[in-house]
C-alpha cells in the first residue's frame, strides 16, 4: 500500500479528531468518495430507463438495417439496343480475344527467347516487350497457367518467369493453350 503524506490545516485536523476515526481511514474514505463521483451509481429507476433506451435504440438499428437502401455510386445501364448494335460488342469481344491471343503468343515468344539466353526474365520486362502493363499481362496469361513466381535473382527481387514454364510456353505457341 502506498504512503500519502499530506499537510492539512487546523480546521480539518479538528474535524478528523471529532469523527473518532484514524487519519488514514478518513483520508481513504474521502479519496474513495472523490473518485466515485466520476462513476455515479444509478438508482433502480435510472437503470430501467437506460435499459429501455438501449432496447429502443437496438430496435431502430435493426429497422434501419432491414430497409434496402439504394447502392451509392451505381453506374446507369445503357438504353436497350437494336439488333445491329448488339453485334458490335460481340465483334469487340472477338477482337479482344484475338488481341489477347496475340499478346499471349508474343509473351510466350519473349519469355522463351530469354530462356534461350539462359536467364529467367522479370514479368515487367516481358510486359514492356509485349506492350501492356504488368497486371494486364498476368490477366492474359492466367488462363494458360503461365504465372510469374515471386523470387530473387542476382540480388533483384521480383516476379520471374521460371525455366519450369518452358513446356507450357511451347504448348501455347503450338496452339495447345498451355494448361487449358
pLDDT, tens digit, for every residue of 94-106?
444 567 788 888 9
For residues 62 and 100, membership in a common domain is answered with: no
Q: Which of 46, 66, 86 is at the close of a domain?
A: 66
CATH number for the domain spanning 164: value is 1.10.10
User: Is there a single domain that holds both residue 102 and residue 43?
Assistant: no
**Per-residue pLDDT tens for 31-77?**
777 776 555 567 777 777 777 777 777 777 676 666 665 555 555 66
| Same structural domain, 60 and 101 | no
Give the three-state DSSP class for 86.
helix
Give me the pLDDT at residue 22, please. Answer: 83
Is there a single domain that holds both residue 103 and residue 169?
Answer: yes
- Classify residue 83: in a domain, yes or no: no
pLDDT of 87 higher than 50: no
Please indicate, yes or no, whether residues 153 and 100 belong to a single structural domain of this protein.
Answer: yes
Q: Specify if 27 maps to a domain.
A: yes
Q: Is residue 43 packed enough to be buried (19+ CB in 10 Å), middle (13-18) or exposed (0-12)?
A: exposed
Shared-domain flag, residues 106 and 163: yes
Residues 60 and 121 in one domain: no
- Among 174, 115, 180, smallest CA distance to 141 is for 180
Task: Give yes or no: residues 125 and 170 share one domain.
Answer: yes
The answer to whether position 36 is within a domain reads: yes
Provide the residue range defining the domain that includes 15: 10-66
CA distance 14 to 28: 17
The pTM for the full model equals 0.46
Which residue, 49, 66, 83, sits at the end of a domain?
66
How many domains in the chain? Answer: 2
Amino acid at each position: 500500500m502506498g504512503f500519502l503524506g499530506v499537510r492539512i490545516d487546523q480546521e480539518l485536523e479538528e474535524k478528523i479528531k471529532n469523527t473518532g476515526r484514524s487519519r488514514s481511514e478518513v483520508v481513504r474514505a474521502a479519496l474513495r468518495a472523490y473518485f466515485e463521483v466520476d462513476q455515479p451509481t444509478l438508482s433502480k429507476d435510472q437503470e430501467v430507463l437506460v435499459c429501455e433506451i438501449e432496447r429502443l435504440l437496438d430496435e431502430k438499428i435493426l429497422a434501419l438495417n432491414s430497409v434496402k437502401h439504394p447502392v451509392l455510386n451505381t453506374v446507369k445501364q445503357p438504353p436497350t439496343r437494336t439488333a445491329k448494335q448488339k453485334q458490335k460488342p460481340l465483334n469487340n469481344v472477338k477482337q479482344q480475344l484475338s488481341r489477347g491471343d496475340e499478346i499471349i503468343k508474343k509473351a510466350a515468344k519473349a519469355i522463351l527467347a530469354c530462356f534461350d539466353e539462359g536467364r529467367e526474365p522479370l514479368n515487367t520486362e516481358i510486359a514492356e516487350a509485349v506492350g501492356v502493363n504488368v497486371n494486364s499481362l498476368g490477366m492474359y496469361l492466367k488462363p494458360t497457367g503461365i504465372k510469374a513466381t515471386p523470387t530473387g535473382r542476382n540480388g533483384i527481387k521480383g516476379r520471374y518467369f521460371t525455366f519450369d514454364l518452358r513446356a507450357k510456353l511451347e504448348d501455347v505457341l503450338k496452339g495447345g493453350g498451355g494448361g487449358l
